[in-house]
């Protein structure tokens, strides 16, 4: 993946021994990890301070990714590179000490969807540009037609929120207040957004300060040599891992439920060709871009591919340009996975999860010990919005719920977790009820939702949420609500998810997979059930003690166990 037209820095005249390189690399990592925590602890919104929906990274002076924080989201892997390409295209060398650039647009600024705000701050030493300190944070609302800027029902990018090209928010240390005023005028909860923006700004400044200390200690030639070596050794490590896969052609396909606008059963296909150290992903045959907002820009597809490769081949490999440059991709322009303007993309994470599923499915025959059955395959989104009766102010509660993780070669899948490309946490009940006029009636696992297998799939989550003393609006985006997560090697399917509306009498009404503008009255509630995951291996091979634990845990009822397992099942 080409980062920018600028000349990449060489290694100078410095040489680094392996110990110095490792110390320097860990110094860079400490900067990204520290700034990740600083951003989290400074943020105002629950989506960042509690759910940790943000990432931090160091880029070199040409925009190559050097280090990404360990706790960062894999889906953000390629977004920062996209920001850097757009930044160089627009500003070239017109970059100064104290500048901070901001952007979010997927079509002109390298983003993947509008709620993810990218920031980049150049770092200089003795007048020379040496690095950029970058971060991304998912803002709970970025304006647009729907609170939370994430639900279905939108057919073009204009409806999804405020589009920000690459702009200079700070110039030589001075804030452009008019620009910030413009951004805050277009969101529903400006005080919260302002707090999150300044948390990102503080994280940029902290990281830049730490980087200047490292550069001053080692010198620019050694640091730029370190950049090259960090990228090179990751690339070498990943090429060796690819070479260990048997040469061949591997294919798989899966289906998205719908786009929320009437198009259903949307195929994603991949053919992976491996020859020595070369690996090529061909997504020809995948659906054309759709009217609804499950489209994906190419850089999000690249991030999904790189995550899948890392997960299958070398989970401990660092995220940097050496990882991004490894795979070759063929993706048709105007397809679901390389959508063109003005395609809506807000729910792109659901599609990214399916990209990962098809890659794992394709390589499962070659890498059975590394592959996992289909996880919940979703980024189940729930947004509640309204006027807080306690304060009279607008609120927006956004969450994406975890679900089941797929059964594995030697282990069961995990229950109720974020999977694959969305490395966030589930929001605690206490945080919801403290900060929003909402009550969580119940929170737990969805019974029987993990697919049967020698190693069962993980369970989905159920959360029942009621607005307290007011009427609110519910918007959502669900996937794997129609097509169940598949099992591997004779493992069974996981249970799909669903949204339900409970009226005051407790009567249930099934909501669409991607509901928009659903009115929820006081004392009514929404039931959110995320998908489970597929099982791995023949259920008849499940160990007796594992079955006993399944029965004792209450996660599966007796009827389910008797139907899916051939052994004597505990009553």
pLDDT digits (tens, 9 = 90+) for 204-223: 999 999 999 999 999 999 99
**Residue 286 CB contacts under 8 Å (≥ 6 apart), including other chains:** 267, 268, 269, 270, 331, 332, 335, 336, 337
Residue 425 is predicted with a pLDDT of: 85
pLDDT grade, residue 426 (50/70/90)?
Answer: confident
Candidate CATH numbers 3.30.780, 3.30.310, 3.30.160, 3.30.450; the one for domain 18-237: 3.30.450
The β-bridge relationship of strands 328-330 and 278-282 is parallel
Average pLDDT over residues 499-523: 96
Lowest mean pLDDT among 7-11, 50-54, 155-159, 356-360: 7-11
Residue 92 is predicted with a pLDDT of: 94
Residue 567 is predicted with a pLDDT of: 59
pLDDT grade, residue 499 (50/70/90)?
Answer: very high
For the chain, domain boundaries: 18-237, 372-571
pTM of the predicted model as reported, rounded to 2 decimal places: 0.94
Look-up of token digits 């990281």: 207
Residue 21 is predicted with a pLDDT of: 96
- Using only C-alpha atoms, the chain has a radius of gyration, in whole angstroms, of 23
Alpha-carbon dihedral of residues 122, 123, 125, 127, nearest 10 degrees? 20
Please answer whether residues 479 and 377 qualify as being in contact, where contact means their C-beta atoms are separated by less than 8 angstroms. Answer: yes
Q: What are phi and psi of 115, to 5 degrees?
A: -65, -20
Residue 568 is predicted with a pLDDT of: 47
């Amino acid at each position: 993946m080409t980062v920018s037209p600028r000349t990449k820095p060489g290694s100078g005249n410095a040489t680094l021994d392996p110990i110095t390189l490792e110390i320097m690399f860990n110094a860079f990592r400490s900067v990204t990890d520290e700034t990740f925590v600083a951003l989290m602890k400074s943020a105002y919104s629950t989506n960042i301070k509690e759910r940790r929906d943000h990432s931090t990274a160091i880029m070199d002076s040409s925009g190559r990714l050097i280090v990404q924080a360990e706790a960062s989201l894999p889906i953000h892997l390629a977004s920062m590179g996209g920001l850097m390409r757009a930044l160089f295209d627009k500003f070239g060398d017109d970059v100064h000490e104290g500048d901070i650039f901001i952007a979010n647009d997927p079509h002109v600024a390298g983003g993947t969807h509008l709620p993810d705000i990218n920031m980049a701050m150049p770092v200089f030493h003795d007048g020379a540009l040496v690095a950029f300190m970058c971060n991304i944070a998912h803002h709970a609302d970025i304006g647009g037609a729907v609170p939370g800027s994430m639900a279905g029902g939108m057919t073009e990018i204009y409806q999804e929120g405020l589009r920000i090209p690459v702009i200079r928010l700070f110039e030589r240390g001075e804030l452009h207040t008019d620009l910030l005023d413009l951004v805050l005028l277009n969101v529903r909860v400006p005080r919260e957004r302002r707090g999150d923006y300044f948390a990102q700004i503080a994280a940029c400044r902290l990281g830049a300060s730490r980087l200047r200390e490292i550069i001053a200690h080692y010198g620019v030639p050694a640091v730029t040599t370190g950049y090259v070596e960090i990228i090179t050794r990751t690339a070498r490590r990943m090429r060796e891992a690819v070479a260990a896969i048997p040469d061949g052609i591997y294919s798989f396909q899966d289906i998205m439920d719908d786009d929320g606008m009437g198009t259903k059963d949307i195929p994603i296909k991949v053919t992976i060709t491996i020859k020595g150290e070369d690996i090529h992903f061909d997504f020809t045959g995948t659906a054309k871009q759709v009217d609804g907002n499950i489209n994906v820009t190419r850089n999000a597809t690249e991030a999904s591919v790189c995550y899948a490769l890392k997960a299958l081949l070398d989970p401990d490999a660092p995220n940097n340009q050496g990882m991004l440059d490894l795979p070759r991709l063929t993706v048709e322009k105007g397809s679901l996975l390389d959508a063109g303007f003005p395609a809506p993309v807000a729910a792109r994470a659901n599609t990214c999860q399916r990209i990962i599923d098809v890659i794992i499915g394709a390589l499962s025959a070659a890498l059975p010990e590394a592959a996992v059955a289909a996880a919940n395959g979703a980024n189940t989104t729930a947004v509640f919005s309204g006027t807080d009766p306690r304060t009279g102010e607008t609120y927006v509660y956004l969450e994406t719920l975890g679900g089941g993780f797929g059964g594995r070669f030697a282990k069961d899948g995990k229950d109720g977790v974020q999977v694959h490309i969305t490395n966030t946490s589930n929001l605690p009940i206490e945080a919801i009820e403290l900060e929003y006029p909402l009550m969580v009636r119940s929170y737990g696992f969805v019974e029987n939702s993990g697919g049967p297998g020698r190693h069962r799939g993980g369970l989905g989550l159920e959360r029942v949420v009621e607005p307290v003393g007011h009427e609110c609006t519910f918007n959502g985006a669900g996937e794997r609500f129609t097509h169940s997560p598949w099992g591997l090697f004779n493992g069974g399917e996981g249970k799909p998810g669903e949204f339900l509306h409970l009226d005051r009498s407790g009567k249930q009404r099934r909501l669409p997979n991607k509901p928009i503008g659903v009115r929820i009255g006081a004392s009514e509630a929404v039931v959110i059930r995320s998908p489970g995951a597929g099982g791995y291996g023949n259920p008849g091979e499940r160990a007796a003690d594992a079955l006993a634990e399944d029965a004792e845990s209450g996660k599966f009822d007796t009827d389910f166990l008797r139907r899916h397992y051939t052994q004597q099942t505990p009553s």
